[in-house]
Amino acid sequence: MALAVGGFVITQLWGLLMVVGYGATTGAAPAALNVAERVVVNAVALTLAGLSLTYAYVSLTDREFDFVDLQRPTIADLVYGVGGLVGLFVLLIAANAVIQTAGATPSEHQIFREARENPQLLLPLIPIAILFIGPFEELIYRNLVQKSLYDGFSKRAAVVVASVIFAAAHFQAYASSDGLALLASLGQVLLLSLILGGIYARTESLLAPALAHGVFNAIQFGLAYLRFTTDLGPADDGTAAVLPATPLVVVVDLLVGLL
């Protein structure tokens, strides 16, 4: 739990530094950053946070850096990664069907709320999801948080606990005045995280969940772009609005309140 809190705090601090630095360099006020700029800033912050937290954890626990599961990928890793990607979409569709049958609608992720007016901003987020969001969120929540829990929990229990922490970290991104909608979205995040955690526990490789996670988010960005710009995307029913791990840390809103 301390590691999860540390990861959240470090990510917030790096995000704050990145926003301040970006504003000082460009002269743009924090509130003036568009959704693409904010996600780029936060993707860099997530990367720096992941590297910082990894270094700190390995150093403070007298471990070696081979604690990070970055061994050469195997065919099994790729199979689990692709299979996990398919599983994420199957579970997402099933969860949405259950939620809608119950008469509820998941709250929309903050990124999509802001991208409706300028969908083109979603396009650069596709490679960002694959290169940064997926790998570094999996590094923090799976390789560090989940793996560290193996010392006190069974693997299955560690997957569940890490997934609960992962879902809680997305509270702000899905925040809504409709408590039921927020609960539905966080429930989806939790279920999707269980798949990612299960993949990592099974393969003991960071690549497999990072691949599934990053490509899943990238496809979500692509579907959202189609939904907002054409008639080819899925209906506006919340299905394409659920990202399991997009790290839009809302440091901008914090800065707006302070400035």
- Domain-wise residue ranges, the chain: 2-258
* CA-based torsion, 225, 228, 234, 240: positive or negative: positive
> E strand or H helix at 168, and its extent?
helix 155-168
Contacts of 25 (CB under 8 A, 6+ apart): none
Q: Is the per-residue pLDDT at 92 higher than 50?
A: yes
Q: Is the per-residue pLDDT at 25 higher than 50?
A: yes
* Average pLDDT over every residue of 250-255: 31
Model confidence pLDDT, tens digit, residues 115-170: 888 898 889 899 999 999 999 999 999 999 999 999 999 999 999 999 999 999 88
**Per-residue 3-state assignment (H helix, E strand, C coil) for 112-132:** HHHHCCCHHHHCCHHHHHHHH
- pLDDT-above-90 percentage for the chain: 47
CB 209, CB 84: distance < 8 Å: yes
* Average pLDDT over every residue of 184-193: 94
* Average pLDDT over every residue of 84-99: 94
What was the pLDDT predicted at 121? 84
Contacts of 257 (CB under 8 A, 6+ apart): none
Model confidence pLDDT, tens digit, residues 37-74: 777 777 888 898 899 999 999 998 889 899 999 988 89
What was the pLDDT predicted at 236? 52
In order of 45, 161, 162, the CA distances from 12 in angstroms are 8, 22, 19
